[in-house]
């Protein structure tokens, strides 16, 4: 048996055929015993079948998970919380439940209440697009991305080995983190930037009330810094509301940073501004260089 032998013999059920779920299906189909997609809407059945991202599609989630070796929840965070409670008792002994939600504390807490016959692993692939839905899905989406894994104390080594197989097979890089640490880090590098971009767009909207020409002069800098403001609102609301403490702390720190820069600017303290801006520019360039080499 090769290094992906267990994965190849597994029936994988992916609940949610949006960007993340369908992209995972594209990568796994033909390399597992069977890949089943679960959708909510009747019209989504034909759309998913036509896309070719899974072997078969169903709306009967309870029947689908009953036969699964691996169940992947690829839905918004608060939907995942509901599905954990509803689907766990339907899964067969030893089956693995993996989620791909963007926050982990609440999800892992819910997973800890699952029946003992289920093997839970929290997960979060650090990739995606601002465009959601099946039409945005693509093979290779996960290639090279960090895939955070949050095993519970009750998670067996065999279950972790199988999840590791899955993550490695899709060419992602597994990184094990404690849920609270994960949520603090993603608040800083993902959730706060979203709010920052939203705030910037809101400011320009206010400027446009007096001078609509602002949209004409907006160029690539504005486009790049506000790209994530166009992200799926339902998904981001779930993220913000389930990571509230960490996001609030991050927002408070950003406000303090901006206030400090405002004070230096108001006092025309060029020396302080230059020193701080140069240090930050160097940090950003060093990170970019390290990111590109890895």
Give the predicted TM-score (pTM) of the model: 0.92
Domain range for 200: 182-293
Read off the tokens for 281.
């520019």
Domain boundary among 112, 146, 177: 177
- Write down the pLDDT at residue 135: 93
The DSSP annotation for 193-233 comes to HHHHHHHHHHHHHHHHHH-TTHHHH--HHHHHHHGGGGS-H
Q: Is 143 helix (H, G, I), strand (E, B) or coil?
A: coil
Low-confidence residues in the chain, pLDDT < 70: 1-3, 294
CATH assignment at residue 191? 1.10.3660.10
| 99, β-bridge pairs | 73
Residue that terminates a domain, selected from 146, 177, 208: 177
pLDDT at 1: 44
Q: Total domain count for the chain?
A: 2
Which pLDDT does position 132 carry in this prediction? 84
């Amino acid at each position: 048996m090769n290094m992906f032998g267990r994965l190849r013999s597994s029936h994988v059920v992916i609940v949610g055929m949006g960007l993340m779920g369908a992209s995972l299906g594209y990568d796994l189909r033909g390399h597992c015993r069977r890949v089943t997609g679960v959708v909510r809407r009747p019209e989504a059945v034909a759309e998913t079948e036509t896309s070719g991202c899974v072997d078969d599609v169903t709306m009967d989630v309870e029947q689908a998970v009953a036969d699964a070796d691996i169940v992947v929840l690829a839905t918004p965070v608060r939907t995942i919380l509901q599905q954990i409670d509803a689907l766990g008792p339907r899964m067969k002994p030893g089956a693995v439940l993996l989620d791909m939600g963007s926050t982990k504390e609440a999800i892992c807490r819910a997973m800890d209440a699952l029946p003992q016959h289920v093997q839970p692993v929290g997960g979060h692939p650090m990739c995606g697009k601002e465009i959601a839905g099946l039409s945005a899905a693509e093979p290779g989406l996960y290639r090279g991305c960090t895939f955070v894994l949050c095993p519970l104390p009750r998670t067996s080594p065999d279950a972790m080995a199988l999840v590791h197989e899955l993550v490695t097979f899709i060419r992602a890089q597994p990184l094990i983190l404690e849920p609270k640490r994960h949520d603090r880090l993603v608040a800083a590098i993902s959730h706060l930037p979203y709010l920052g971009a939203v705030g910037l767009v809101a400011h320009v909207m206010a400027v446009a009330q007096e001078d609509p020409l602002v949209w004409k002069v907006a160029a690539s800098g504005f486009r790049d810094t506000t790209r994530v403001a166009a992200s799926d609102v339902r998904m981001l609301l779930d993220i913000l509301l389930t990571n509230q403490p960490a996001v609030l702390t991050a927002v408070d720190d950003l406000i303090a940073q901006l206030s400090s820069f405002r004070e230096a600017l108001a006092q025309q303290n060029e020396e302080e501004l230059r020193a701080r801006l140069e240090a930050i520019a160097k940090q950003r360039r060093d990170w970019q260089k390290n990111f590109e080499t890895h």
